[in-house]
Amino acid sequence: MYGLVNQALEDFVKKGFGNTAWNRIREGAGIRLDMFVSMDSYPDETTHRLVRSASEVLDLDSSEILEGFGEHWVLYTAQAGYGEMLAMFGSDLRSFLNNLDNMHSHVAMSFPALRPPSFEVEQIEGDPGLLLHYRSERAGFAPMVVGLIKGLGKRFSQEVSVRQTAYRETDEHDVFRIDYVDAGASPPR
């Protein structure tokens, strides 16, 4: 993963739990670096170790950490200079989700070693909700997707509820059901 991900995780922890918690997490994960370089690539295991250590230090389940981090990621990347790019790929939640793979292709121009997940939006017949199909070579990040969707809902002022309905461990891939809390906020078809 690129350092930008680990930088965002650090920002999430520091803003929510303080510098001392971050230092304990970094130490528990065996990370000796003082900082991550956003454009440098780091082994996926570095991020996994940070999440496991955060789970121990913060006494939270790793899925809670990943979900909170996913929500934070949306805000962090917008503030880290990617806000205009995010705006290019959709003005509402549905259009943005439909363009996630296009956005990742665009991002890959700056991050050549990027191995992004793939997303497919499925409209549910006669239902304002959506199904989001998530495929990734990386295991264990489904809770982060829940947080990402919630964060995107906030970004587009569309309150959503999200629940996972299929799991890559037992199904072909992860699937998330997205429902709009305020029926008037559901995007046009």
- Answer yes or no: do 44 and 125 share one domain: no
Residues, the chain: 189
Domain membership of residue 85 (yes or no) is no
Between 47 and 115, the more confident residue is 47
Q: Is residue 109 predicted with pLDDT exceeding 70?
A: yes
Last residue of a domain, which of 37, 60, 83? 60
Could you tell me the CATH number of the domain that includes residue 147? 3.90.1520.10
Residue 40 structural domain:
3-60
For the whole model, what pTM was predicted? 0.88
Three-state DSSP class for residue 145 = helix
Domain membership of residue 67 (yes or no) is no
Domain membership of residue 75 (yes or no) is no
Q: Residue 183's pLDDT is what?
A: 54
Domain membership of residue 181 (yes or no) is yes
- Please give the tally of structural domains in the chain: 2
With beta carbons less than 8 A apart as the criterion, state whether 145 and 109 touch: no
Query: In the β-sheet with 118-123, what is the strand arrangement from edge to edge?
Result: 118-123, 130-135, 174-180, 160-166
Q: Which residue has the tokens 């990402």?
A: 148
